Amino acid sequence: MPAAPVSRPRFVILISGQGTNMQAIVDACRRGECPAGIAAVISSRQGAPGIAWAHSVGIPTQTIAHGDYPSRDAFDAALAAAIDRHAPDFVLLAGFMRVLTPGFVQHFRGRLINVHPSLLPSFPGLHTHAQALATGVQVHGCTVHFVTPLLDHGPIIAQGVVSVLSADRPETLASRLLKVEHIVYPRVATWLAEGRVHLTADQRVVVDGVDSRLFFLEQRT
């Protein structure tokens, strides 16, 4: 008797705008590099361009606008219910511009992943590129991490690094960093889909078969 087919892990991706990291992950799955299925893309904002893109490639989409709900708790409850209908193995935040409540984070504990535009634990929160330039750091980067109730402080899965150039402004630094985000996040999605990512008892990340989880964007000088 032939073996039963193995179902692919399922991702739900949350966005609020262009969703370029979402597109990078979807493209990796469509090329066969990431062995996951994208169950849905959900936006917190009406008219998000990323929703139109996801719909154009045949992915189920939904918008749950945070402004339609009277509180963060009400919004998060509606969002969690929408996600649960797709029974995902992981929920990937890709430019999702909402601070999630502890109850939501606990509901998806160990399955909720985010990309943040800094080398955490440096520069949590907003305006990370301006913070990097103001402090004079010579490298900047992004971090893909597990989400915990403490904002931008979850266990780190992987990071990407770019050089800070003397002529950089927040916009140019952000643009260059986005290129490395599009490398790091699909790679992490692949590791997740392959079942290679594990949390240790002391909340550190181990990825089977991977020695280094740091990625660099080559910069011409």
24, two tokens: 């990078």
* Packed helices 170-193 and 128-135: angle between N→C axes, nearest 10 degrees: 120
Yes or no: say if 93 and 115 are a contact pair by the CB < 8 Å rule: yes
For 116, other C-beta atoms within 10 Å of its C-beta total 24
Rounded Cα gap, residues 30 and 37, in angstroms? 9
In DSSP terms, 162 is beta-bridged to 140
Rounded Cα gap, residues 25 and 31, in angstroms? 10
For 74, other C-beta atoms within 10 Å of its C-beta total 12
Rounded Cα gap, residues 208 and 195, in angstroms? 9
Residues, the chain: 221
Q: The dihedral of CA 80, 82, 86, 90: what is its sign?
A: negative
List residues with catalytic annotation. Answer: 116
- Kind and range of the H or E element at 207? strand 205-207
